[in-house]
Every structure is written in structure tokens, then in C-alpha cells.
Structure 1
């Protein structure tokens, strides 16, 4: 078998809607890692950075007898990362609910040990064809697995970002671990959902066909931004080549220096533009297209004042009639909708929409549950408090089932230790005959 090595690069951008980067990326001659933090601005940053630190600690030559395989090392590192998150959450309850996804690949010189949890993805580009290696740990993926949803429907599902598994600092940690055997010419892509949610797989495949992985990484991030840039976007890329093939400087990082990007990096990334993983220099993004000049709309020709009062009267009448019809339509439509929300501190299923019109309620409680909001993790509780849209009553019930599986038993209330009171005893009465 041909001995292999790989070129690598990492690239990130904060996106067009976010103000901070919660993604972390890492690439080195032995390891490729990507983590997508969640749970609030500071907490998401912290979660991915803590996890990245735990993974970077094992980026060294392992002793098979002392350390086991690279997959053993990955398993231990993921457990350590989860434990550290738990400690931070216990010390600071304000960050409860923070967590992170993780994709990690550890090269032992012959094969890759792989760890995966969450909805960040691992793709392989081999022989001109793109394959998703990882399986998303999401609600919509569970529906796909059950045959209730198609991949195309999943892309537009209102709960496509709902995670079923992540590193959350809890005991119920369930990552996927596996081995991969790369071949010469393979390209592996680790990416956050800021890429996979913004572009189709065809765009990813086309980008990976470019001459170098540096060009591919730049094009992938650019495509995500042009696709909307709604989230941080991070890519970590590797290209496997024969060990005898020279690693040309023009093709990738031949000096063997590790690359750190995103929240785990020492220097924060700029708010706009693309960031080169080698130089941290900002690249100018493409200007957004503006098919209609706003100034043209501002100075659009105005109608002549002739018969102005007739037009005004007709317009008012049309608005009144249109509003009445729209109200009736909105109410009828709303009664076919469902959502899950808070009901007196518990989880409930509502019929309708989470909104009201003046003088008209557009929702009512359909079913109540015994799930107390206080027993849910912070992230899930906040989702319920904000309202979770369902596509049907059955979908709402599945959401409730998922929430029920997250219920944590309340900690027992400590009982006060009763104070011991010493009862004075009367002196013994002398027995008859005692002197």
C-alpha cells in the first residue's frame, strides 16, 4: 500500500449576520478538528474553544503501548472536553445550555480515527464524487431515517437546526467513532453548518474540484457568504498525496505549522471579508448585487392629481375589504397550524400561531403535558419559551417526545438537620434505707 501524507488548510469567516465567531477550526500534520459552539454569544465561543483545547492536547506522536490507538486518544479527549464544559457550567450557571458540535480526524500514518457529534459535517471527495461521511445528529435527520422526510424537505424544515446530540457537559455524551482509510487524491472537508445550510452539495463538489485546497476553501467560504452568510462559516480541508510526492509551497502548508482559526485562535477574525488561514489578511468580499437602484424607486413618477378623491375613496374601500378578507383567511389558516410553547410553567401544544390580531386570538391550547420547564436544559427551555413551530400535530407530538427525553430529575432539596436539645434529668430519688 502506498504511504500517504496530506496537505491541509483551515479558513473561517464570521458571516454576514453574526458579530462574533463561535466556530473553531484546527489543522496540523496529524489532526483536523472543527467545533461549532452554541448557547449564546460568549458561551458558544467558550464551548468550542474549550473543546478545541482538549483535542489539541493530544496532537503529538502517540506511544501505542501507553496511549493506545488514535481512536482511543480521541475517545479520551472528547470525554475530557465534555467534563471541562460540565465544570465550567457548574461554576457559572449563567452559561448553562452552552455546548458544541465536533468533527475530529486523527492520522496515525495509515488510517484516520474519526470522532463526530452534532450537525457539523465531514465530506469526502474521491474520484470526482462527493460523499457525506458523517450523519447529522439532528431532529430532521431522525425523520429522514424513519422515512418521514426527504433530504430536500429537511433543508427547509423549521426545526432543521434542532440538535439531538452535542457536547454539553452532561453524562449523556454519545459521539460516533469510526475508522477511515484514505487513498491518494482524496480530499476531506470538515465544515460547520454555516456552509452546509447555505449551499447545496453540488456547490461543495464543484468547489472541491479546484486545483488546490486553498482555492477550494476560499471558494467554499465565499459561496456560503453569497448564499446568505446567516451563520459563522468554517472549513478545514485535507488532501492526501503519496508520501514520495513533494508538498509544494504553492499547493498548501508545507512547513508543517498547525493552523488555528475562529474562537480558538489567539487573534480574533475581522468582522468582514475572508480571512486567510496563513496570513490573517482580509480578502475583499464580492459586492452584493443590487438589481434595482433604491434611488430610482425613491424618485418614481407620481400619478397626476386628476380624480384624486375617487382614487383615495376606492383605495380606502379596497383596504377595508381586503383587511376583512385577509383576517378571515388568516384565522382559517392559523387553525391548521401548531406550535409548542410555555403554559403556566409547563410544555404544551398549541393550535394556531404564536401571534394575535386586534380583538382576535389566533391560538389555543391543544394539549398539555407534565413536563416542567425547570426540568429542561437551558437551551431547550429557552426554545420552548420562544415557541417552537411544528408542521403538524404529529410533528408537535414528536417535539414534545424529544423534550421529554431531555428532562432532568430535580436535585433533592436538602433537609435541615434537626438541632439536638439536651433534656435535663431530675436527680434520682434516694432509695429507702439509704443514708
Structure 2
């Protein structure tokens, strides 16, 4: 397939300067709408087209990469121009560009110029406006009809300005024989409805459609520059008829501010490398003060402001509706989330228990052992009569540091063990060191009975002996050990 195209630009009936630029060639279609008013938006649009027109050749494999790269190069070019001339500060441009490889089309888009596709009588919009009112439409706050007359309809959120990265939308489009493509500045799309665009595009050749679109937009009251590029997808071997052959032979078409810039650079006063189509010679029908130019709700009409809306059109930081309310709601949601988490954490902490010291005594605490300003994280659940001084030093230190318990019952068990330990200071001994061992008599043993003789027994006397008898006295030694309950206090540790 190949493109059969036409391009046309008109300064309009209110503006003194044409800040739109357009280009149409065998492989490239471009619309750029300059923004900035006195900041010379025509320079931005013309330079952008000048950079992009280098893509008008059989594209390589990376069509979208080439498109995005060219838009970024135009961004760099504008930045360079502003650095060289401070009077250009604030200039910018929209851009919508299509690159055709014979089968598919790559699209790059920034701003509110538009691309449309007419297929089998049905018109569809290819691009999405980067505007404040479009964001309201996307959010369902206003309708498309309300967007046409919205007081902030002039505000665009993205443009090629040499300051902010342009972030273009890039995508591919499958096309077929018989498709018709329209690129236009908002001077046309803001004045004509989709139904009117579809009706005009459905008739005649690209050249006829371009002229009719511009004329219809002006008659509808457009107060802006109007620029259109129309192209048909035709067979590569299709022969142009008499009406289209002249356009086919002229090669690329350059219109609007880009054509004026080309004329200025050309020594012969004609556009270099492209045919110029600007209908600025059409007679104006109003001067912008009698209301005749505001009938269609065009840009800058009926706002009642002294400032030209074109100068305030590009706003990287547009005003937000209900901004304070939205921020307040976000803050409220965050506060509620934090409060819910805090309450859940506090409730969890109050289901915890540990054994610690309450001054000089041991007690069961409920909560967690932490110090948070303004918040009580623990309290005494059950006091006890056990004093820290009654415990061995090692156990006293454990209590001071806090002994975790899995439940209240577990905490009570720990306290009971500590009380038993208090009765046994030395965990390695089960009796007091002062206890006398069994079998060691203290004092004089007294025999359990008088010695008695039994038959067969003998009494032996040894010379010099005192006559003592051999007897087995049963001594009952008295023990001084006192242990209380045998072994119980000293067999368990907390």
C-alpha cells in the first residue's frame, strides 16, 4: 500500500499568526500546534516538523523507537533555541505523527492535536488528548459535550517544550486498503463534532476533504488556527485520477508555520522541499470582539479574560478540582489505617503476661514490658508477698529483667516456684549445714538395759581390769537438723 495525501493550514479569522505546522509525505504525516502566544509557538511547531520530517523515508524495523527518538530530538532542539534566545521562554508545541512502512502505521502523540481513522464509514479517534478536561472525561466527571465548553479546555498537560520530558504515546496501527486517516489541530476538532468530521471525510479526494474541513471549521466559528492532513491508503499499483495526480506529482507538502519558516530559509522565497498550502488569504468574518468568532466555543473566545488563552494554554501543573478535599481524604484514610493497626497491637499486648518486680516484691504483670510515652503498656495483674530480698541473687536478677509467661496460669506457676526457691537459698544442698549426721552420739550413751546373763555366757575378767562387762548399748543420738518438708523446696527451679 501507499499513501495518497493532502495538507492544508489556515491562520483563522481571529489570529494574526499561524502557530500550526503540518507535513505530509510518502512515509510521514505530522501535525504540530504551537503553544505559547507571544512566546512564539510557531517556532516550536516549525522546528518540531523540521526534525520529524527526516523520518519521511522507508522506515527500519523499529518504527516506534524512531518516532519516540525524533520527538525527543525536537525537545532538545527547542531547549537549544530557548537557551539562545530568552524571548522564546515558555514556547512549546503539540505533535501527532504517523510513520508508514507500507503495511502498518506507527503513531507518536503528545498534546491535544488528534488523529482519526475512517473505515467503512465509521470514524474512530486514534489518540487521547493530554488535557485537563480529558482527565475529567476519563474520570466520568464531565461528558464530551461539556468538555467542549469547559472553562479550562485550553489547558494541556503534556507538550514538547524543551523543559519537561515529552513522554509521547507510541503505538502501532493496523491499516487496510480504503482506510482514510485525518490528523488535525484542535482548531478543527474543537469546532466540528465527530459526526461532522465523519460526514466530510466520507466524500471526495483527500484534497477535497482537506479544503472542506478547514472551511467548515472556520464557518463553525473556530477562533484558532486550523490545520488538517488527510491521507488515503491505496494500492501501490493504483493509478491516480486527474484530481489526485497533481498532488501526487508535487511530493511532500509543508503547511503553516513550517512553510513560512521554509520560505524564509529559501533564497527564492518558496518552501524548500515541499509544496505550501496555506489559505490565510481567506477574508476574515470577525475581529474577535463582536462575538462572531466565539460562536463555536473556540479557543480564547467568550472567556472574558484580557490574557490571550493561547499564552496560558500549556500548564504542566494544572489546577486540580477538590485538591484540598482529596488530600484530606487521603490523610484521613492513612490515619484510620494507623489507628486500626495501633488498636490491634494494643489488644494483642494486653493478652501477654510476665513475672517482674513491683518495687520490692514479686508480681504477675499483664501486658508487655515496654515504656511508650503517653501509653500504659502493662499493669499488675496479681501481687504476691514474695520479696526480692528473699530470692537468691540469680533469681532476683531474672525477676528484675522480667520472666515471660505463656498465660496467667503459667505466670502463677512461676511465682509458686520462686516462693519454694526462697525457702532453699543453696540449690546444691537439701539440708542445713548445721545438721549432725545420724549415728554420731552427742553426750554419753546410755545402755538400753542392764546387762543380763544368759546360760552359756561367760564373763571374762582380765587381770588389771576394772571388771567392765562387754555389752552393745543401743545409743539414740539426738539430731539437730531441721529441714521442714523433706526435700520439697529445693528440688524445682522457676
Deviation at 1:381, TM superposition (A): 11
Deviation string, structure 1 residues 199-218 (Cα, Å, up to 9, x no partner): 21111111101121111111
Partner of 1:395: 321
Partner of 1:25: 22
Partner of 2:53: 56
**Could you say if the C-alpha distance between residues 159 and 76 of structure 1 is closer, same or farther in structure 2, counting changes exceeding 3 Å?**
same
Aligned equivalents of 1:145 and 1:10: distance in 2? 31
Matched, 1:185 2:178: yes
Matched, 1:203 2:203: no
**Could you say if the C-alpha distance between residues 96 and 114 of structure 1 is closer, same or farther in structure 2, counting changes exceeding 3 Å?**
same
- How many residue pairs get aligned? The number is 294
Aligned equivalents of 1:34 and 1:251: distance in 2? 22
- Contact kept, 8 Å, 2:113 with 2:185, in 1: the verdict is yes
Deviation at 1:226, TM superposition (A): 0.4
**Could you say if the C-alpha distance between residues 26 and 228 of structure 1 is closer, same or farther in structure 2, counting changes exceeding 3 Å?**
same
**Could you say if the C-alpha distance between residues 267 and 396 of structure 1 is closer, same or farther in structure 2, counting changes exceeding 3 Å?**
farther
- Contact kept, 8 Å, 1:248 with 1:254, in 2: the verdict is no
- Contact kept, 8 Å, 1:102 with 1:118, in 2: the verdict is yes
Matched, 1:120 2:116: no
Q: Which has the higher strand share?
A: 1
Deviation at 1:177, TM superposition (A): 0.2
C-alpha RMSD of matched pairs (Å)? 3.2
Aligned equivalents of 1:91 and 1:122: distance in 2? 33
Structure with more relative contact order (C-alpha pairs < 8 Å, separation 6 or more): 1
Counterpart of 1:37 (choices 34, 50, 59) is 34
Aligned equivalents of 2:100 and 2:233: distance in 1? 11
**Could you say if the C-alpha distance between residues 162 and 78 of structure 1 is closer, same or farther in structure 2, counting changes exceeding 3 Å?**
same
> What TM-score do the two structures reach when normalised by structure 1?
0.62
- Contact kept, 8 Å, 2:14 with 2:284, in 1: the verdict is no
> What TM-score do the two structures reach when normalised by structure 2?
0.55
- Contact kept, 8 Å, 1:222 with 1:285, in 2: the verdict is no
Q: Give the stretch that moved more between structures: 68-77 or 6-15.
A: 68-77
**SS state of the match for residue 255, structure 1?**
helix
Aligned equivalents of 1:241 and 1:200: distance in 2? 27
Write the mapping of 1:176-325 to structure 2, written as runs, cut at 5 A: 176-251=169-244, 253-255=247-249, 257-265=251-259, 266-267=262-263, 280=277
- Contact kept, 8 Å, 1:28 with 1:256, in 2: the verdict is no
**Stretches of structure 2 lacking an aligned partner (at least 5 in a row):** 265-273, 287-302, 328-494
**Could you say if the C-alpha distance between residues 15 and 79 of structure 1 is closer, same or farther in structure 2, counting changes exceeding 3 Å?**
same
**Could you say if the C-alpha distance between residues 381 and 186 of structure 1 is closer, same or farther in structure 2, counting changes exceeding 3 Å?**
closer
**SS state of the match for residue 244, structure 2?**
coil
Deviation at 1:59, TM superposition (A): 1.9
Partner of 2:44: 47
Deviation string, structure 1 residues 278-318 (Cα, Å, up to 9, x no partner): 575859858969xxxxxxxxxxxxxxxxxxxxxxxxxxxxx
Question: Which structure would you say has the larger Rg?
Answer: 2
Partner of 1:94: 87
Deviation string, structure 1 residues 253-292 (Cα, Å, up to 9, x no partner): 2226100000011348xxxxxxxx9575859858969xxx
Matched, 1:137 2:134: no
- Contact kept, 8 Å, 2:28 with 2:55, in 1: the verdict is no
**Could you say if the C-alpha distance between residues 281 and 153 of structure 1 is closer, same or farther in structure 2, counting changes exceeding 3 Å?**
closer
Matched, 1:105 2:98: yes
Partner of 1:349: none
Partner of 1:14: 11
**SS state of the match for residue 211, structure 1?**
coil
Deviation at 1:240, TM superposition (A): 0.6
Deviation string, structure 1 residues 366-412 (Cα, Å, up to 9, x no partner): xxxxxxxxxxxx9669989xxx9x8xxx73648999xxxxxxxxxxx
